[in-house]
Amino acid sequence: MDWVTIISTTVKAAVGVETVLYALAAIGINVHFGYTGLLNFGQAAFMAVAGYGLAVTVTVLGLPFWVGIGVGLLAAVLLAVILGIPTLRLRADYLAIVTIAAAEIIRLIFRSVAFKDVFGGSDGQRGFSEGFYALNPFPEGDYGFGWFTFNNRVTWVLFVGWILIALSCLIVYLLMKSPWGRVLKAIREDEDAVRALGKNVFSYKMQSLILGGVIGALGGFIYGLAFASVQPDIFGTETTFFAYTIVILGGAARVLGPVVGSMIFWVLLVLVNGILSGAVEAGYLPFMAPTQVGPVRFLLVGIGLILLLVYRPQGIFGDKREIAIDAR
């Protein structure tokens, strides 16, 4: 087994592209679920409309990169408004049902044969990221130190990605310290009490849905730009559930929870994957085929998460005192 490779890829995963894009998606979910109590099960759709908004604007319409970013953000805001208007006046569970269905509808539209000319069917779209890499200030070559060494393209993506994470965390931190965030947290506890105190609950829930959706959309951009392509099946329901897992792992309603959660989640996945593949290759696990490594790593990480929920339900950063209080 090549331990050096296993360890170095694992360490790289702590700051890698997946960590960045899932951290952004999870920061959005944390705003929705952690702070406001909104069960948005369609975060993948916010990422998808952003990624495709950028891709289609640049490749199909031939417009510049920045216009694509604008279209992607606008699409995320619109999606939040469209999902929110019918469901935010109803009980929390309705939002969950509608968002999970809407996310699947959007994914199926993107991969449909009827719109193949626009969205590219199941192959998706590619060739829209030149505008982004044209802005790359890092000349050709490798950057970083030790195991954290990346080529100039990846360095540029990670540089922008971590700036976006830092900005998102700063905004969430400022907001949740403010009276605005107080209203959100109060809505999570009991909407009717907040209404009785003269706050427009619907408006706040909508603002929360838009904010979290837009932060999730940044994750969609990072995906599209890092891999220079978007495919519909990347934005399936499991993407949303990974984001939820990350939020709970890190600790819900904690500013840095999703970031650390995402780092741990991907480090674990990559580490388990590396060890299993190495062991199978070296013949230590004769009962396993190399193709079984992928599913088994999720299984093992899943067991780990269940143990975490049993022994540390508040996540890494959570407050045990808070969890002990019954929600009502």
Partner 1 sequence: MHADSTAGTVTATTERKAAALAAFKDLARDPGVPKPDPILVVDKVVRRFGGLTAVEVEHVEIQRGSITALIGPNGAGKTTFFNQLTGFDTADAGEWTFNGRPMNGVPAHKVARAGMVRTFQLTKALSRLTVMENMRLGAQQQKGESFFRALLPNLWRGQEDEITERAEDLLTRFKLAAKRDDFAGALSGGQRKLLEMARALMVQPELVMLDEPMAGVNPALTQSLLGHVKDLREQGMTVLFVEHDMDMVRDISDWVIVMAQGAVIAEGPPDTIMSDPRVIDAYLGAHHDAPLSETELQEQLHEAEAELEAEIEEETQK
Chain contacts with partner 1 (rule: CB under 8 A)? 171, 174-175, 177-183, 185-186, 188-190, 192-201, 207, 211, 321-322, 325-328
In angstroms, rounded to a whole number, what is the distance separating the alpha carbons of residues 120 and 122?
Answer: 7
Residues 6 or more apart whose Cβ sits within 8 Å of residue 22: 219, 242, 243, 246, 262, 265, 266
Nearer to partner 1, 54 or 252 (CB): 252
Least distance CB 161 / partner 1 (angstroms)? 22
Nearer to partner 1, 20 or 206 (CB): 206
Nearer to partner 1, 116 or 177 (CB): 177
Q: Give how far Cα 61 sits from Cα of 27, 47, 139, 175, 200, Å.
A: 31, 20, 29, 37, 40
Q: Which residues pair with 145 in a beta bridge?
A: 148
Q: Among candidates 166, 186, 162, which has minimal Cα distance to 36? A: 186
Least distance CB 171 / partner 1 (angstroms)? 7
| Number of residues in the chain | 328
Nearer to partner 1, 166 or 197 (CB): 197
In angstroms, rounded to a whole number, what is the distance separating the alpha carbons of residues 36 and 20?
Answer: 23
Least distance CB 28 / partner 1 (angstroms)? 16
Q: Among candidates 133, 130, 153, which has minimal Cα distance to 143? A: 153
Least distance CB 323 / partner 1 (angstroms)? 9
Nearer to partner 1, 80 or 186 (CB): 186
Least distance CB 66 / partner 1 (angstroms)? 23
Amino acid (1-letter code) at residue 76: A
